[in-house]
Structure 1
């Protein structure tokens, strides 16, 4: 293990020593690609039988969405979870109280949302220190990350945590790079740029690709991309997760400081101890999870507004709705009647490809 870590630290120190200019860009690109490869080996080591997973980490996914709490030890993650979900996660004033993943579940707007209190991440988690690797592996499966920060020292913590998560291929509040990349059998490297590039040119792209032993590929850059973006696309194991920064312990700062904090994007100031500002937090969580509620209506009865079927924003067709209810329904589907904002007439007869909006009411008619 130490050999990979030694290689990583050697490359990082060389990158820190190298000046950034046009002449060294190819060298830096090569170092970044090497670093990404080593990091990938750290996350999933080559060969060897499956190691024994430590207890308490693999948590079964339940509910409609999963939210992970990430933060340094003792910033108030467990207090927040126990006050939000009524789950008892051991709370104490010393670091590393929570040692395994503690799941909780809340119901918000009819959707069941699983909350995971992940053990505190320490600096160097991505290099295998502490139990950071398992923590971040669980974080990769979440639909949303709550980064809990102490509002007395938020920015230093935020940078360190983002650096740890980036090292594990988690990208927070970012979109996947708009780069077309396809390997082929022959024909060399074919690079097309739709806009002028400030960093990437053909030589740098070839240098990075040669580190991955790729000598034939089509690449189209649709925006001004960096070498990091290109490496992300080649690695292909990056996960893009929305993140909300929770600045905890606002009961210890002044009103003027609070006004400044409110202007930071993706941020919610809260006090886990006093239950302050939880409604703002839950509202923002709903917005970032991008869930939609669809109500069912049995024939001849009123719609059931208490238990909606919750769909993710990107998969909201009638077919997805049927599959969420039961796999067999889509096969017997004849047509559906829909009331709501996704149709012109109330009700309207629609087919299986119709896309639903939030809070639509659906009645499904099966083949006889």
Structure 2
């Protein structure tokens, strides 16, 4: 029996197994087996699949993937938002390869990838879905595009989920540490809905005999399985509805409440707001470098990520600035007062002004 048949058989068993405390351990066993088989299948596909046309070298400060079913307008959006020249057409499967473009916004260079349109079963390899979704897995941000004539949000998110891509979620707050003896010990800081027996069985199924399990959030079976698997990718995302100019006022109001943004790629409506949402979603910040006695350079900011400190800036600045660093002065949101003297551990914020004091060598 092949992997696909085994997965189907287990999924059918899971569907027939009622959801209650008495069946929780059995459902956990089935979910764990399905997850392991899908991980095994993904590894085999990665090792043998044809990835021609899908290998894209990362460039710029971050990478964004445009995801949607065929003919939602991804190529038109790419062309009108970046320097790309992707083929477009009012028919399905215009994009057969991954088309990259560079979005320049707020001083950042953001690589945007127009991936081939998904079809149902993409996560299982249909329509080159394995290769397409592998590109999405490597992106730092995802823009899900919908078409008013064919709103299939749940299907797209299901394909992403089945490929191990978790959008707008954080990794489960749990830690698993192997031990040499003592069996499986479970420590929690919250009340758990999962029975300890279920956790132990799923751990043993995953190959753990002796381990310490620390859980710091309320988990269901699916989240616990995610915490045990190595092939999960957690990516921020927004959902946009294209061709908004086609909507009547009632539908527009409904979609404005339900989705992140309404745009028209063809008529270039609301694209500046989309660029802002991408910049924000990537967690990028601008830091303006300043030399002593000079004005800060606001034309070409240093692009960092939220939470980065002065030491992170030194890592990407050219030359030997890191080795010559003595101290820094910061003016902006992160400083208590203008030109505050700080060390390498000081956390920077968007539009801070950074002046470095360097040793002469």
The TM-score, its normalising length taken from structure 2, stands at: 0.94
Deviation, 1:152, is 3.1
> For residue 36 of structure 1, what is the aligned residue in structure 2?
35
Cα distance in 1 between the residues matched to 2:33 and 2:182: 25
**C-alpha RMSD over aligned residues:** 1.8
Q: Deviations over 1:241-270 (max 9, x none)?
A: 1111011122222111111111125x2111
Q: Deviations over 1:9-53 (max 9, x none)?
A: 22222222222222221111111111111111122129x9x5475
SS of the residue 1:365 aligns to: strand
> For residue 164 of structure 2, what is the aligned residue in structure 1?
169
1:238 aligned onto 2:232: yes
Of residues 160-169 and 115-124 in structure 1, the stretch that sits farther from structure 2 once superposed is 160-169
Map 1:281-300 onto structure 2 (within 5 A): 281-300=274-293
SS of the residue 2:354 aligns to: strand
| Aligned residue among 143, 147, 150 for 2:144 | 147
Q: State the aligned residue count.
A: 360
| Aligned residue among 349, 356, 359 for 2:351 | 359
Cα distance in 2 between the residues matched to 1:77 and 1:120: 9
Cα distance in 2 between the residues matched to 1:51 and 1:11: 25
> For residue 341 of structure 2, what is the aligned residue in structure 1?
349
Cα distance in 1 between the residues matched to 2:343 and 2:207: 48
Map 1:244-263 onto structure 2 (within 5 A): 244-263=238-257
Deviation, 1:86, is 4.0
- In structure 2, stretches of 5+ residues that fail to align are none
Map 1:34-113 onto structure 2 (within 5 A): 34-45=33-44, 51=48, 53-113=50-110
1:270 aligned onto 2:263: yes
> For residue 124 of structure 1, what is the aligned residue in structure 2?
121
Q: Deviations over 1:113-139 (max 9, x none)?
A: 110001111111111112111111111
Cα distance in 1 between the residues matched to 2:19 and 2:150: 30
> For residue 304 of structure 1, what is the aligned residue in structure 2?
297
Q: Deviations over 1:137-188 (max 9, x none)?
A: 111111110001112332xx21111111112221111122122322212111
SS of the residue 2:338 aligns to: coil
1:215 aligned onto 2:214: no
Deviation, 1:318, is 0.8
1:5 aligned onto 2:15: no
SS of the residue 2:239 aligns to: strand
Cα distance in 2 between the residues matched to 1:194 and 1:363: 43
> For residue 317 of structure 1, what is the aligned residue in structure 2?
309
SS of the residue 2:126 aligns to: coil
The TM-score, its normalising length taken from structure 1, stands at: 0.93
SS of the residue 2:322 aligns to: coil
SS of the residue 1:301 aligns to: coil
